[in-house]
Amino acid sequence: MAHILILGGGAAGLAAALAAAQAAPAARVTVLERNPKVGKKLLATGNGRCNLDNTAIAPEKYFTADPAALQPLLAAVDAAAPLAWFEQLGLYTRTDEAGRVYPYSNQAADVLALLELHLQRHTVQLRPGCTVSTLRQSKGGYAVQFTNAEGDTESLRADAVICAMGGAAGPQFGTDGFGTRFAADCGGQMRPLYPCLTALQCAKPNKSLAGIRAKAAARLLDGDRVLAEEIGEVQFTDYGLSGICIMQLSGLLAPGRRLRDPVVELDLFPELSEIDLTRLLARHAIQTASDTLAGFWTGLLNVKLGYALWEAAALPDTAPHALPAGSWQKLARTAKHWRFEGLTPCGWRQAQTTGGGLALTEVEPTFQFKGCPGLYFVGETLDCAGSCGGFNLHWAFGSGLVAGRSAAGHAAAGRALPKASAPAKSRKKPHR
């Protein structure tokens, strides 16, 4: 009986396991997961709502050092395939105005439960509490050594192995970069790892604003050059800036981009021109007729945010009606171009995904490791980090589906060969 072994029980690994079992019903499929249960990180996605896909899948929605290599891989996944597969499993979904796809129940636990139901029906063996240590070529396939849940050393042989052990983001979910280290140990070319989709630390954070949220246009600049702009909710923290639009921009701070002077610029009134905002502020001062800043900002901005903006504009500590000529234009300019400098991405614990990993040039469109028939790498082990909004789970589920189906075909073909047939010599020899 052909044996397909999946290393990692996250989104990519579970999709790969079920796809392999569906494509090769006679094969034995086993999942080794280090955590006590599978799908731990999946349960936390989308704040527990599981934003599992997006209707706007495109290469430009992903961060990678090899954009040219990404295109055939995304094409192989097929933008519609993961969602169609879930619908066949019986998952009812809804799509919001931004193209984000969620389970109709808004519960990530339902997605995991549905996957586990079908895995059980296809007799896929889930083995949690197993820590993989070595991978070696063996008898036309691969031998994997691991420590099982009881603490004993065990070895399994497989005709095909799919590595879905994730990256370094979210160590609270049991990740520590082992998947990418494992890929490197197999001889793969690696791209430097970096926290992606994370908050940003600033050189001079305003701690008084911690916890305040505001709608804004956030622009990432390198000097005076605008690299990207996102509109959404910005959250001020005691260390800098957070929120989805800030996390989106953080992916552009990858080590390989070598930005000289990265700056985030906030526009707190993106729907107004600077001239219109100047008029609004002057009119608001007349309407409120307040002698205090608190009174002036009431009905316009969060008062603490208003104080900070006033300070950033270097306006005098005086009653609004007593401001010198030109002050409203100065305040408007600051509100439209509020700069935050000295940017540093926050660490792995706050990152939603991993940037960097196994170079995309190292895998075929089937996600098979070049030179190693029957060995696959999927999901977050690869140098492909998606934007917020379901793009990462699309990549995880999609790469898992493609690899699982390919592994099923490989394992079946290998088992059908005459015993005298020898496996093709691999370009690399996986080992640890």
Task: Please report the domains of the chain, with CATH numbers, ordered by start residue.
Answer: 3-195+351-416 (3.50.50.60), 199-346 (no CATH)
Q: Which pLDDT score is estimated for 258?
A: 77
Distance CA 176, CA 276 (A): 50
For helices 108-121 and 81-89, what crossing angle results, to 10°? 70
Which tokens sit at 110? 């339902």
Among 277-291, 368-382, 418-432, which range has the highest average pLDDT?
A: 368-382
Which tokens sit at 163? 């590595």
Q: Which pLDDT score is estimated for 129?
A: 96
Residue 428 has pLDDT above 70, yes or no: no
**C-alpha angle with apex 213: 207 to 217, nearest 5 degrees?**
105
Distance CA 192, CA 174 (A): 21
Residue 396 has pLDDT above 60, yes or no: yes
Distance CA 375, CA 244 (A): 35
Distance CA 252, CA 262 (A): 10
Bridge partners, residue 268, by sequence:
none
Q: Which residues have C-beta within 8 Å of that of residue 225, sequence separation ≥ 6?
A: none
Q: Which pLDDT score is estimated for 223?
A: 86
Q: Which pLDDT score is estimated for 290?
A: 84
Residue 415 has pLDDT above 70, yes or no: no
- DSSP characters over 415-426: HHS-TT--PPPP
Distance CA 144, CA 131 (A): 10
| Percentage with pLDDT > 70 across the chain | 96
Rounded-to-5 percentages of helix, strand, coil across the chain? 35, 25, 40
Q: How confident is the model at residue 3 (pLDDT cuts 50, 70, 90)?
A: very high
Residue 425 has pLDDT above 50, yes or no: no
pLDDT in tens, 203-237: 999 999 999 999 999 999 998 899 999 999 999 99
Q: Which pLDDT score is estimated for 432?
A: 42
Q: Which pLDDT score is estimated for 353?
A: 93
Residue 419 has pLDDT above 60, yes or no: no
Segment 54-78 mean pLDDT: 95
Q: With 0.85 as the threshold, say if the pTM is over it.
A: yes
Residue 430 has pLDDT above 70, yes or no: no
Residue 414 has pLDDT above 80, yes or no: no
Bridge partners, residue 241, by sequence:
200, 236
Segment 341-358 mean pLDDT: 92
Which tokens sit at 157? 């042989």
Residue environment code for 354-392, b if the CB has 16+ CB neighbours within 10 A, otherwise e = bbbbbbbebbbebbbbebbbbbbbbbbbbbbbbbbbbbb
Q: Say which amino acid occupies 194.
A: Y
Indicate the Cα dihedral angle 369, 370, 373, 377, nearest 10°. Answer: 10
pLDDT in tens, 37-51: 999 999 988 788 999
**Which of 97-101, 119-123, 223-227, 410-414 shows the lowest per-residue confidence on average (mean pLDDT)?**
410-414
Residue 152 has pLDDT above 50, yes or no: yes
pLDDT in tens, 262-290: 999 999 999 999 999 999 999 999 888 88
- Between 320 and 6, residue with greater pLDDT: 6
